Structure 1
């Protein structure tokens, strides 16, 4: 099992008044290597908190997260950023690119931090740039390219480290419909090649491309859908129905 999430609970104490807010109450699920999983839920359902814990940016109040059998809670603060860089790839809604770096240097950044030699960085970049259709963009800067091209740059940066797991946070949130289609096609190709992807999204369209969708409600996994032999259109309809039930506060059969 690649990722195991066990009984996660997260309680925040507010700064003013000391009120306690329970963001996650009891979240358990696992992700096998090569799976493509989407996580959905209304605002306040705990999606962002869960993603931050999986990204080792936050620690749970109780429970555990294991990646390839290694507990994220067992890794020291000193080693956590290297662990994150070596094992996780990130794709964010707002791209998180550095405007003063070229596209090439943005993609190279995690390898530079890992102390890679330039020759190896170039050797890794060339096939990825070709695959993502961005070779002619490498010398440009983020402010010179479109949103879809920025997200492709971010995907290139995420996969150049050969991560065990890609964590995507609303990856289509800032994209127009054409760029969204393109990105979802790209995620599908990467997943078909064996890349494990976990995506948090509000978009029914994005989630309908995943192999499995987990629905969070009130800090717990409320329901899950497996795509199986369903088409994207059939999955879209099933997800929409489930979200309607979620919003109405009913039980899902």
Structure 2
């Protein structure tokens, strides 16, 4: 069952000075099945960040359709969008987006506070997630007191606590050292194995090779895709690397 359906999405920006038109996305069509782990890759300027913003309901397409569990995001009213985003989407960002004057616990609780949940309910949801992510001992600390890897686990906990239909991850390993990045990717694999749907935008071949499917964006379109199938992460890593090389050189990709 498709949880996310993106059909013929186009995005054209008009520059402030001179009125020039820039086409960021030209015709993006793909779907994500419930329980999938999909990575999106592409060169700088390929349109993947614009696409992520549209999927997150932070931007609207010029034309086309985006549906999450059958709900059309494009026609949603402004006052509905923030509540819909909070209730149905989880976010993991490269720079963590944690509030330094909030404890780890309060950062994780924030979307539930905004949703008006009672403290007892929030605490009940937090305990198994914190234990799962190995941050139970950090809950009373502040973001400036913990490592980058611990900050990103806090951000993942904040994304998971609302029980979202879809987690959107924007370069989640970008600010991490290799050890913390590997740990985060292992964690993504575990929560995906439990049924969580994840869509990740990344420049990292290693991060993308942890996904079940990789979409390549070029010139504002889905140019190619790779499925993990029976490939190991190392085999998928090599296929991703080869595909990126072919895209950069303008070569033809053979199935």
Do Structure 1 and Structure 2 share a fold, with TM-score over 0.5?
yes
The equivalent of 1:127 in structure 2 is 128
The equivalent of 1:107 in structure 2 is 108
3-state SS in 1 of match to 2:169 = strand
1:118 and 2:119 correspond: yes
3-state SS in 2 of match to 1:238 = helix
The equivalent of 1:40 in structure 2 is 41
3-state SS in 2 of match to 1:74 = coil
The equivalent of 1:180 in structure 2 is 181
Which segments of 5 or more consecutive residues in structure 2 lack a partner in the other structure?
Answer: none
The equivalent of 1:80 in structure 2 is 81
The equivalent of 1:252 in structure 2 is 253
The equivalent of 1:96 in structure 2 is 97
3-state SS in 2 of match to 1:2 = strand
Cα RMSD between the aligned structures? 0.4
Q: What does the per-residue CA deviation read over 1:163-206, in whole Å, with 9 as the maximum and x for residues that have no partner?
A: 00000000000000000010000000000000000000000000
The equivalent of 2:237 in structure 1 is 236
In 1, the alpha carbon distance for the partners of 2:103 and 2:48 equals 32
3-state SS in 2 of match to 1:197 = strand
What is the Cα deviation at residue 73 of structure 1?
A: 1.3
Which segments of 5 or more consecutive residues in structure 1 lack a partner in the other structure?
Answer: none
What is the Cα deviation at residue 250 of structure 1?
A: 1.8
The equivalent of 2:213 in structure 1 is 212
Q: What does the per-residue CA deviation read over 1:10-57, in whole Å, with 9 as the maximum and x for residues that have no partner?
A: 000011111110000000000000000000000000010000000000
Stretches (4+) displaced over 6 A: none
The equivalent of 2:4 in structure 1 is 3
In 2, the alpha carbon distance for the partners of 1:250 and 1:166 equals 33
In 1, the alpha carbon distance for the partners of 2:40 and 2:202 equals 6
In 1, the alpha carbon distance for the partners of 2:62 and 2:84 equals 21
The equivalent of 1:61 in structure 2 is 62
Question: How many equivalent residue pairs?
Answer: 253
What is the Cα deviation at residue 74 of structure 1?
A: 2.3
In 2, the alpha carbon distance for the partners of 1:202 and 1:66 equals 25
In 2, the alpha carbon distance for the partners of 1:243 and 1:212 equals 15
